[in-house]
Amino acid sequence: MQVADASLVFAIALGVGVIIQALGRHLRVPGIVLLLAAGVALGPDGLKWVDPRLLGEGLIGLVRLSVAIILFEGGLNLEISRLRREGTAIRRLVTLGAIITGLGGALAARFFMLDWNWTQALLFGSIVIVTGPTVVTPILRHVRLLPRVSTVLEAEGVLIDPIGAFIAVLALEIAVAPSASAFTNVPLWLAQRIGFGLVAGASFGFLLAWVLRSRRIVPEGYENIVTMGGVVLLFAVCRSILPESGILATTIAGIVVGNLHTRVGRGMATFEEQITVMLIGLLFVLLAASVRLADVQALGWGGIATVASLMFIVRPVQVFSMTAGTDMSFRDKVFISWLAPRGIVAAAVASLTSSVMEVEGIAGGPALRALVFLTIAVTVLLQGGAAPLVAKMLRLLAPPRDAAVILGADGLGLAIGNELRSAGTRVIFLDTNAANCNAAERLGYGVVFGNAFDEKVLARAPRPG
pLDDT of 180 strictly over 80: no
Residue 203 · residue 245 · CB < 8 Å: no
pLDDT of 339 strictly over 60: yes
* For residues 343-367, average pLDDT: 89
Euclidean distance between CA atoms 182 and 351, whole angstroms: 23
Q: What angle, 0 to 180 degrees and rounded to 10, lies between the N-to-C axes of helices 365-378 and 293-309? A: 60
Of 87, 101, 86, 89, the residue nearest 318 (C-alpha)? 101
CA distances from 381 to 21, 243, 247 (A): 15, 34, 27
Give the sheet arrangement for strand 427-431, strand by strand: 404-407, 427-431, 446-449
| pLDDT recorded at residue 193 | 87
Model pLDDT for residues 247-283, shown as the tens digit of each residue: 899 999 999 988 886 655 556 667 777 888 899 899 9
Euclidean distance between CA atoms 222 and 254, whole angstroms: 18
CA distances from 359 to 134, 353, 405 (A): 29, 10, 59
* For residues 35-39, average pLDDT: 90
Residue 276 · residue 77 · CB < 8 Å: no
| pLDDT recorded at residue 465 | 42
| pLDDT recorded at residue 2 | 62
| pLDDT recorded at residue 5 | 82
Euclidean distance between CA atoms 132 and 134, whole angstroms: 5
Does an H or E element contain 413, and which?
helix 411-422
Which CATH number is associated with domain 404-460?
3.40.50.720
Of 59, 357, 65, 75, the residue nearest 240 (C-alpha)? 65
pLDDT of 464 strictly over 70: no
Task: Annotate 114-170 with DSSP letters as a single string.
Answer: TT--HHHHHHHHHHTT---HHHHHHHHHHH-B-HHHHHHHHHHHHHHHHHHHHHHHH
Residue 435 · residue 447 · CB < 8 Å: no
Give the domain ranges of the chain. 56-260+297-360+379-393, 404-460
